[in-house]
Structure 1
Amino acid sequence: MNKLKTVFVDRDGVINQERSDYVKSISELEIYPNVAKNIKLLKDAGFLVVVITNQSAVNRGIITHEMINQIHNSIQDHLKKHGTFLDGFYYCPHTPNENCNCRKPKSGLLQQAILELNIDLNSSWMIGDSDSDIEAANSIGCKAIKINDNFSLDNAVEKILN
């Protein structure tokens, strides 16, 4: 079976508006308007698109695994209305002081996705909005793009596709 090229994306700050008090429910989920278009462009070019996200609100007792899944299902429902979808959601529920191997900047979630989805790391990318996203990708040799006010998701997808 051929290994698959993939774009890993962070969730909060890339797919949806980040909140200082965490996205705790579907009603607090604000998906950026250009997300579906960009995911569709990547999928049409043959990439898997997989979310890799830290969600310490779970182990802080602020939200449950079920609530995280509801939020992720809502993102999928939004994308399906626009003719696209995400190939997977991987999240770390741990707080920084739990010292797990899955919380970015560690690469455990990326490594898990690579194994489970038969991903070709050499032709894959990470798009994130924080240094921990970039560090996680770089630690396993994955190309990474940091988005910010001066370099948007549109810019990142254009760079990957060209």
Structure 2
Amino acid sequence: MSKTKVLFIDRDGTLVLEPPVDYQLDSLEKLEFYPKVFQYMAKIASELDFELVMVTNQDGLGTDSFPEDTFWPPQNKIIDAFKKEGVEFAEIHIDKTFPHENADTRKPRTGLLTKYFSEDYDLENSFVLGDRITDMELAKNLGAKGIYLSEDPELGAD
């Protein structure tokens, strides 16, 4: 039996644009998908043999500053939109803590992803796709490879 390769995918800044005002996707009006994201993700889903897993930090989700009832409408629309394009996430892992809490469930830590350390998964040939250094650190912590997305024109300039 072959092991399952996983593509761990960040949400904000990777699949959807991060709202520049407060970095919280807490309304449908703020929801904007990256150009061609459906085309690329559908190709990955249909042509490559990876389990797709969304992993996202949502600072303080469920608190007064980020009530859950403002989170779920955009989140559900994201999932439904991808599903319509043939892209389904096997699992979705959401950390709700703040950075200062240093929770083991918060990226780049692997507390939400312990099941992937089993012999059923091929982490060495798996990837983490994301737009932050913490996503690349998650890849390292999982023993996977990282794919760093950046719109920084200075990155790699020298």
TM range (shorter): 0.7 to 0.9
Structure 2 Cα separation of the partners of residues 68 and 143 of structure 1: 29
CA shift, 1:139, in A, is 1.7
The alignment yields a C-alpha RMSD, in angstroms, of 2.3
Structure 2 Cα separation of the partners of residues 63 and 101 of structure 1: 21
Structure 1 Cα separation of the partners of residues 103 and 76 of structure 2: 26
Q: Does 1:104 align with 2:115?
A: no
Contact 1:59-1:95 at 8 Å conserved across structures: no
CA shift, 1:99, in A, is 1.8
| Higher-Rg member (1/2) | 2
Structure 2 Cα separation of the partners of residues 119 and 61 of structure 1: 38
Using structure 2 for the length normalisation, give the TM-score.
0.81
2:18 corresponding residue in structure 1 = 18
2:138 corresponding residue in structure 1 = 136
Contact 1:125-1:144 at 8 Å conserved across structures: yes
- Give the number of the structure whose residues are more often helix, by fraction: 1
Secondary structure of the structure 2 residue equivalent to 1:86: coil
Structure 1 Cα separation of the partners of residues 25 and 62 of structure 2: 14
Identity %: 32
Which consecutive unaligned segments of at least 5 residues does structure 1 have? 152-162
1:157 corresponding residue in structure 2 = none
1:80 corresponding residue in structure 2 = 83
Using structure 1 for the length normalisation, give the TM-score.
0.80
Which consecutive unaligned segments of at least 5 residues does structure 2 have? 154-158
